[in-house]
Structure 1
Amino acid sequence: AMHPLPALSVFWLLPLAFTLEEDSPLNCVPRRAVPFHKDNAHLFSEEGVFNYSTMLLREDLDLLVVGAREAIYALDLNDISKKLASVKWEVTQQQKEDCQNKGKHPEVHFCFFNYIRILHKTEDNRTYVCGTNAFDPECDYMSYKDGQLTLEKKGEDGKGKCPFDPFQRYTSIMFENDLYSATSMNFLGSEPVLMRSSPVTIRTEFKSSWLNEPSFVSMTQMPESEMSAEGDDDKVYLFFSETAVEYDCYNKLVVSRVARVCKGDLGGQRTLQKKWTSFLKARIDCPVLESQLPYIIQDTYRWCDSQQRWKDCLFYAVFTPQSDTSDLSAVCVYRVSDISRVFAEGKYKTPVTVETSFVKWVMYSGEVPVPRPGACIDNEARKAGITETLALPDPTLQFIKLRPLMDQAIQPIGGKPLLVRRGATFTCIVVHQVQAADGEKHRVMFIGTEEGTLLKAVNYDGEMFIIEEVQLFQPSESIKILKCSNVTGQLYAGSDYGAAQVPLATCGRSLSCMDCVLSRDPYCGWDKVAGKCTLLSSSQRELIQSVKEGDASLCPKADPVKPLNRFIWPGGNLKLSCSSPSNLAKTTWERDGTALTPTARLQLLHDGLLILSASDSDTGRYLCQSMEHSNAGQYAATVAEYQVSMDPAGPGDGNRIFPKAQINGPSVAGLQAVIGLLLVSLLALLTWNFYKGYIPLPWNCLKNREQTEEHGDLNSAVTYQDAQRPAAAEKKLLVCGRDNGTNYKNHSPEGAELSVAEESDLPKVNLQSLQLIDNESEI
């Protein structure tokens, strides 16, 4: 299938961008925005340590194990601000020198550090840990005993397990004590691999048809052998993006993929020896506004109900655009059974050579060998006497070696995203299920962003609702990893500059019943007896909650707001504060029962009302109301009430925000004295410059002009001849490409030698005489 060029796709995206108006259901706005505050989360960081981006929940030990740059921490799972133990894993001087000698720059490529990239629990309750180790990956075992973290210093080779480059995307899982990893095998990062390290090392082929400049995202295992009528094997799924081989594009087109391998794969006997015989991959789509360029997968989360089979598990995935023309991020959800069906029953793609040089990928319509290429060993294969992959026939292995790509793309549930949002780019996601007051279960998505915020969102019968957006890190730092603990009911986030721990719900942010119900948070409900918004799980009483409708009429009548007294003075200014608890609400003001409209003197702010140059007519009773719409209707609430009175004595209280300037006073007199002193200093400076001759007197300027006119022809000739000499430089100007706003001098050795004075003497170039050279054959 032909895809448009990325450059041309911009024009297709433009009309779609205009359809995203502010009231578009796709343009979700968080109901509540919570700015950074130290009480938002438990925070952990240590001075001089960065990149807290690897985490392991050790709920058996009540620990959160965090891997950072050259350090591993054991933190209290209930309060990660409490460090229980730590261990350093630093690079030796010899390793630093080796990294530099191989061509890496210590500052640009971070040769001097060991970034911890892998933390997995082993079956003997130790922790398997790997680090980049100055571009020489190494792995070790770590134990926690008597409050101490200890590295065993085994010094295992980490190549193929852990990335060389600390900032290259990678992923890994530990499954039944076998490490499955997707990373690069070599120092340059040019040999991508999906590998199982034990008991027999099995990996992918180094072929572009298998992995083509991939960016690995995540990996998970599925117990597909459980209660399998076909006697199937367990699978490991890998999510990644890569440059597509199947599209006819002049420019590189990146697509999202899901691949899978079988746990029992031992490789082939001769063909695909120690290589995967079960590696299959398929394109995974997340269609956003029918955009021409595919969105790129960034993170996934496997959600499974413990009471259901593996086929009912879901993959939640975060996608971002590959084009700068869009600022939308999306979440799509996929059924594991849909993905499994494509691999088990779908058609393959096959490469076809066109005109002896160009390779085109098309759907394979020929005969498929038996056993099915890429399939796990099942009951049907065992009946044929094939009990392991080493016994697979050569036609099956040759087929899958050449054609690992499936023809059919995997579509999300409903054929569209669960959430599309403009703004901060999504980075990672976790999903947690909670039972609401009505007994129905809801899956809540927690999404990290590049701006260090955490979104909390739910999909209620197709309606996407973002409950809140909380700023976790200050300054704003991208959230690199998210973990969720069902034991503590807490979320754990990691960024370059620290780790954060937040509860799944903070019901106390809602101070009224209406605010609590309109927040539509399935974790929270209004306790009429206690008079507060509280967690459902922590209360034995029946709470008021309406997550699907947001029916605030269930609330008892609110207590009246206590009016506050404020004073104005003739010509003074006053601000009346009114902060709405919701971004979805509209704030209105009225004075003595009459709605206020904005004027030059009455300015409506997002957090209040500003009265400028006050007069007697501005006194009265001011009421600020919040009007919010939900599925059940519109609800108004009084947020603030003020009694504004005139104070003829002048600006005596602390409510004025713009005091009138003093006409006469010590401040004005002081300013006049400073200005006078500056004028005297300026005159003295001018006089001194005239005296020294640095600034010519007017009559001297006239004399110099007359001399210039007498010798003008000679000077012009000399200047023109001098300007003709640098012919080489003139030729370089003819083939200058686009400089993207950079200075030509910064990229030209000849230009760098020119001074400002020399540049001013160059002749003017007639731009019409220069021909644009856009064909390399003309150069």
Structure 2
Amino acid sequence: MNPYSLAEAMTDKGNLTVSRLAESNMGLGVLGVFLGLLLEVSSHGPHSGPRTTWQHHDVDLLEFSEPGVSNYSTLLLSDTRDALYVGAREAIFELSKRNVTVRNNKVYWKVAEVPMNMCTLKGKSKEKDCLNYIRVLQVLNDEHLYVCGTNAFQPQCDYLSISDFALEGRAEDGRGKCPFDPSQTFTTVMVDGELYSGTAYNFLGSEPIISRYSPQQSLLRTEYSTSWLNEPSFVFADVIREGGRSGPAGEDDKVYYFFTEVSVEYEFFGKLLIPRVARVCKGDLGGQRTLQKKWTSFLKAKLVCSMPELNFVFNVVHDVFVLEAEDWKDTLIYAVFTSQWGNVGLSAVCVYNMALVDEVFSRGKYMQKATVEQSHTKWVRYNGITPSPRPGACINHAMRQQNITSSLHLPDKTLQFVKDHPLLEDPVLPVGGRPHLITKDVNYTQIAVDRVQALDGRTYDIIFTGTDTGVLHKSVLDQGEVHMVEEIQLIKTAGPIKNLLLSSEVCTRSLYAGSDSGVVQSPTAFCEKYLSCDQCVLARDPYCAWDPRSPACVNILDRPKPTQRGLIQSLKGDADACPAVPPPQPRRVTVKPGSSAELPCAPPSNLAHVSWRANGSALLPEASRFHFIGESGLLIYSVAPEDQGRYECWSLEWAPAAGKNFSRLVAAYALALAAPPRGPRKDVHTPHLGRAPEPGRHAPPPPPGDRFPEGNAADAPGPSPPTTAPVRFTATPPPPPPTQPHDTDPSLTPPHRGSTLGAPRHRHLLPPSSKAPGATATRDPSAQYLQRGNVTALLCLFLLFFLLFLAALAYNCYMRYLPAPCLRLRAALVGGHKSSLRPEYRACEAGPAEPPPPSTPVAEKLKLAQQRPGGQQNGGQTAAAQSQLRALRDTGYETEPDCSNGKIPSRGFGGGSGGDSPSSEKPFDVDCTSQPIEFADAEEPCC
């Protein structure tokens, strides 16, 4: 359920208000529906990915920027001059359209001191906000440009002379023409010397306005009402010329505005955004009595861009491109949308036909404010009688026959109806009823469209979309299906593309992207980057075709029509028309036994799948533990003799339009093992420095005679490199081409041809008990890791655990967690001056033993306590001594006797009665004065 239908359904659920709905179970249910819908769309929504990705340094791009200048967001292409005008922060540039790195002119436009001080007093930043951002650049005539800037939140406009490229100083108030805030969205278009704009009219940005400024006529603007404009974000405006009085209906030209505003039809949990298209007539003069100096032709309708299968709506429009045609009814409107809920991460491109747009404005139903109280739908369809002439219509031949030649002659009934009913009920639906392009995890910000005739005679629309990360996507539209050709990182700093212009001229066919960091010029196609015929054809780029005579991939627009014969192009991606090419010769790779070999293979496109073949058999990644197939190639670690042979990297790409799979040999390698170094001479005693053969494996025989292997400098006489040196790959000139595609050199053939690479590989090892040189045995593959240098790893792991054990032992000994021998060792090492263990501790550690002799302090204390006449008063002391004596007989593991019960005992006992004796309350207290008890490592008594 989309937000619009959901909001409409709220009307039939009762007369609950928005606040009550949010607090009710129904509100929680609706919220759950939305959360589930967002999850479904983000997880299973359709998306399209680019076939080829070009980084910023992979392609030839032209860039312009100057130190100290930023925000190159306003671009204007001149139709009559070789000029690209750029509006930046406090500067205006004139660049060459052919090469933007060439700066022809420059003028500064800084903020005066008084506006700067007023801006800072209003709480704006002096270094950022209170500067002059050039936001409006429009061609006024052949000699002047009309420019406007924010001017420290006091918009100002001026005239720029093109001849000497200087401001004439005829400052005008820029309110309603240029935004106050440089970050605020707006739109302007110059039509026959009149400036049409959509922006905010006040400092706070709370009064939106669609206006027209003309030297000959007074200001014309929208009504200040939320039913006309409700917090809009303007993105684009353009004029559609229908021929005026010379047209069939004699209607005036119309100016269309595209924006996103807060819904006035529905109330929802938050602000529900809705994309709109609004229309005004170019010849509108306002009303005579009603709507004086206001638009009499202002109407707006809802733009729909949704996924029908999921009922999901893209409700935020970011940019619009009008692709004009010879007949204005065939004009197409391309728009990029995202969702109001940004966590979905989807962007869409919808296409609208101008004839359908005109149908909605000419015959659509009107809406009016609802009169039902507490209704969630605030506007409903108007079912009354519509006044004549039709409200919001431009002057045409039928009106002129009624003596209505301008909007000043319209009746007040029609004007009042327009004032109260500016919203149309019928939405503007996209061509095909759904988006033409949907991408995932991409936020589109700008769009430009070019139309190209391919070699098959058909016309294709090529869509260029810029993202908020500085990436440009290029897609081709073919009978409703979209194929994304490539993506290019235009902005090096990965900033958003704030403006995107397309020059369709033959000599300067380029794209111009404006961002905060600079201006980038890019060609519309990178045909020369495709180095083979199949890649040129599989790209399905209408600009590109393969020339077998060159041979190279060329741009067809650079070739005259007669010379285009013989070029190979297929917009379906059928590469069967490409001529056969010989396979690449294998590159010889030589590695040492037991080392790793990396065979690079980059897939030719993002849609291609890579597969490997070894000696004519398919190499499966899960079939062997010694092969790793990654995105960058094949990794063979611990190369053995049976790994030698021919390795081929194949690319497989599916062309859905052609319904075929196309495979291509991308890379081929001949892997061989380096011969071992020759042994020392008999007459010279030389220590053996080479790598010893692995246990259980045959050592390769030495080469005969004194001849060293060709191309292996590591085997030359002299000390061999250490075994821990990194593996180096050496490539020798390729051998002569084989007679058959999969024939290999006999020296590269693995020793056992019966084994397949699809099965687990068995190493041929020498059993320890076998003394025959030819005897072989098969060992468990799990033991081969120990034979490949893992013994060192196990030894290091053992040493690590041993060190950890010693550290734990030392720590426990220091913390007195171990028995008395360790404590004595600790006392001897850490604190040798401390007293040794007292006899009581030794007695505790000894376990069950005979009672201590009478000479012990505890026994003497007990005896004295029994002999005292006041034994009754000292019962607590006697009991404590007996308790201490029992503690000495304890067989536990404590090495320290209890000093107290957790409290500091009193220094002396009073001679009161037994009830007042401390022994009655604290029977386990010990007289620390008469018997000081110390810890094993303490220097002071514990009490």
**Contact 1:96–1:111 under 8 Å retained in 2:** no
1:236 pairs, out of 251, 255, 262, with 255
2:534 is aligned with 1:524: no
Residues 587-666 of structure 1 aligned to structure 2 (within 5 Å): 587-598=610-621, 599-630=624-655, 631-632=657-658, 633-647=660-674, 648=676, 654-655=728-729
The residue type paired with residue 635 of structure 1 is F
Farther off after superposition, 211-220 or 348-357: 348-357
Farther off after superposition, 481-490 or 285-294: 285-294
Equivalent in the alignment of 1:565? 588
Equivalent in the alignment of 1:115? 133
Equivalent in the alignment of 1:549? 572
The residue type paired with residue 670 of structure 2 is Q
CA distance in 2, matches of 1:27, 1:612: 38
Q: Which runs of 5+ in 1 are unaligned?
A: 21-25, 692-701, 713-779
Equivalent in the alignment of 2:835? none
CA distance in 1, matches of 2:230, 2:141: 34
2:557 is aligned with 1:537: yes
Equivalent in the alignment of 2:296? 277
Identity percentage over the alignment? 42
**Contact 2:129–2:182 under 8 Å retained in 1:** no
Equivalent in the alignment of 1:103? 123
Equivalent in the alignment of 2:924? none
Equivalent in the alignment of 2:162? 144
2:418 is aligned with 1:400: yes
CA distance in 1, matches of 2:332, 2:503: 18
The residue type paired with residue 49 of structure 2 is V
The residue type paired with residue 627 of structure 2 is L
CA distance in 2, matches of 1:62, 1:661: 69
> Over alpha carbons, which structure has the higher Rg?
2
Q: Deviations over 1:606-643 (max 9, x none)?
A: 12112222222222111001011113311111111111
**Contact 2:223–2:294 under 8 Å retained in 1:** yes
1:87 pairs, out of 93, 96, 107, with 107
The residue type paired with residue 128 of structure 1 is Y
Quote how far apart the aligned CAs of 1:50 are: 1.3
Equivalent in the alignment of 2:273? 254
Q: Deviations over 1:388-443 (max 9, x none)?
A: 11121111111111110000011001101111111221111111111111111111
CA distance in 2, matches of 1:480, 1:531: 39
2:193 is aligned with 1:190: no
Equivalent in the alignment of 1:352? 370
Residues 184-583 of structure 1 aligned to structure 2 (within 5 Å): 184-198=200-214, 199-226=217-244, 227-288=246-307, 289-305=309-325, 308-355=326-373, 360-487=378-505, 488-539=508-559, 540-583=563-606
Quote how far apart the aligned CAs of 1:229 are: 2.1
Quote how far apart the aligned CAs of 1:387 are: 1.4
**Contact 1:587–1:625 under 8 Å retained in 2:** yes
Q: Deviations over 1:701-739 (max 9, x none)?
A: x99x98994389xxxxxxxxxxxxxxxxxxxxxxxxxxx
Equivalent in the alignment of 2:903? 710
Quote how far apart the aligned CAs of 1:466 are: 0.5
CA distance in 2, matches of 1:231, 1:496: 45
CA distance in 2, matches of 1:510, 1:564: 22
**Contact 2:72–2:86 under 8 Å retained in 1:** yes
Task: Name the count of aligned residue pairs.
Answer: 674
Aligned alpha-carbon RMSD (Å): 3.0
**Contact 2:89–2:133 under 8 Å retained in 1:** yes
2:6 is aligned with 1:3: yes
2:368 is aligned with 1:175: no
Distance of aligned partners of 1:30 and 1:372 in 2 relative to their CA distance in 1, 3 Å threshold: same
Equivalent in the alignment of 2:181? 165
Quote how far apart the aligned CAs of 1:361 are: 0.5
Q: Deviations over 1:509-564 (max 9, x none)?
A: 11000001111111111101111100112231424444332111100001321221
CA distance in 1, matches of 2:462, 2:640: 52
Quote how far apart the aligned CAs of 1:652 are: 7.4
CA distance in 2, matches of 1:31, 1:170: 35
The residue type paired with residue 631 of structure 2 is H
Higher percent of residues as strand: 1
Equivalent in the alignment of 2:911? none
**Contact 1:50–1:497 under 8 Å retained in 2:** yes
Quote how far apart the aligned CAs of 1:133 are: 1.0
The residue type paired with residue 268 of structure 2 is C
Q: Which runs of 5+ in 2 are unaligned?
A: 8-29, 677-713, 715-722, 731-787, 816-825, 831-894, 906-943
Quote how far apart the aligned CAs of 1:293 are: 4.4
Which structure has more relative contact order (CA 8 Å, sep 6+)? It is 1
Equivalent in the alignment of 2:913? none
**Contact 1:254–1:294 under 8 Å retained in 2:** no
Residues 694-773 of structure 1 aligned to structure 2 (within 5 Å): 709-710=902-903
SS of residue paired to 1:635: strand
Distance of aligned partners of 1:593 and 1:397 in 2 relative to their CA distance in 1, 3 Å threshold: same
2:108 is aligned with 1:61: no
Quote how far apart the aligned CAs of 1:15 are: 3.3
Normalising by structure 1, what TM-score? 0.82
**Contact 1:295–1:320 under 8 Å retained in 2:** yes
Q: Deviations over 1:276-297 (max 9, x none)?
A: 0100000000112534444311
Q: Deviations over 1:185-206 (max 9, x none)?
A: 0000100000001122101111
Quote how far apart the aligned CAs of 1:355 are: 2.5
CA distance in 1, matches of 2:55, 2:564: 32
Quote how far apart the aligned CAs of 1:661 are: 9.7
The residue type paired with residue 186 of structure 1 is N
CA distance in 1, matches of 2:606, 2:581: 21
CA distance in 1, matches of 2:372, 2:426: 22
CA distance in 2, matches of 1:291, 1:708: 74
The residue type paired with residue 137 of structure 1 is P
SS of residue paired to 1:79: coil
**Contact 1:483–1:492 under 8 Å retained in 2:** yes
SS of residue paired to 1:13: helix
CA distance in 2, matches of 1:35, 1:585: 18
**Contact 1:544–1:555 under 8 Å retained in 2:** no
CA distance in 1, matches of 2:282, 2:66: 40
Quote how far apart the aligned CAs of 1:16 are: 4.1
The residue type paired with residue 203 of structure 2 is F
